[in-house]
Amino acid sequence: MHVIVLRRSLLILGTLKAMQIRRATREDVAVLMALLRQVVPLMRAAGNLQWDEGYPNESVFERDIDQGQLWVAEIDGSVAGVAALTTDQEPEYAQVGWDVEEPAVVVHRLAVDPSFRGAGVAAALMGKAEAVAAERGIAVLRVDTNTQNAATRRLFPKLGYALAGEIGLEFRPGLRFFCYEKRLR
């Protein structure tokens, strides 16, 4: 199957498939958990231990939904990806010199269904983070990723994010994370 990305739309075997980014609802939670059951084993097989069977979980997604900060990408009615677009900054971000009191939109829990890899889903969700930041008058975007996550380590610089440094996170002991930042103005 050949996939060509065209302004957040997909052309698959001659059929135009539109990607839509929308807020997640409680009805999406079961689908998101199924997505994680596909993604987590692939992450772990690649040496990326950032997520496991316990995190992220239903209650994390439900909290994100209740706070209006969970977004899904849909292609032809199928959930292709998810991201939490929050203002929640980990205290450890200060280790890379960031002022964690400075308002920032922070991307958490970014995942793409393996059947939609290479279709621009993660980039579209990151683009939504920029739109949310602009709507709120926030000039800073931040994201962290496990040092073993090769896909995001390639993606973030392509999208204009600068590597700020490496940290550990108290709630994920034994793992190391790269922190990336993008300034909109």
61-95 tens-digit pLDDT: 999 999 999 999 999 999 999 999 999 999 999 99
Instruction: Return the pLDDT at 38.
Output: 95
13: in domain: no
Residue 179, amino acid: C
89: in domain: yes
Q: pLDDT band for 17, please (50, 70, 90 cuts).
A: low
Q: Is the pLDDT of residue 10 over 70?
A: no
What's the CATH code of the domain at 54? 3.40.630.30
> In terms of C-beta density within 10 A (0-12 exposed, 13-18 middle, 19 or more buried), how is residue 90 classed?
buried
Q: pLDDT band for 13, please (50, 70, 90 cuts).
A: very low
3-state secondary structure of 19: strand
32: in domain: yes
12: in domain: no
107: in domain: yes
47: in domain: yes
Exposure class string for 121-131: b at 16+ Cβ within 10 A, else e: bbbbbbebbbe
Q: pLDDT band for 8, please (50, 70, 90 cuts).
A: very low
Range of the domain at 146: 21-183
More confident residue, 105 or 175: 105
Instruction: Return the pLDDT at 154.
Output: 95
Domain total in the chain: 1
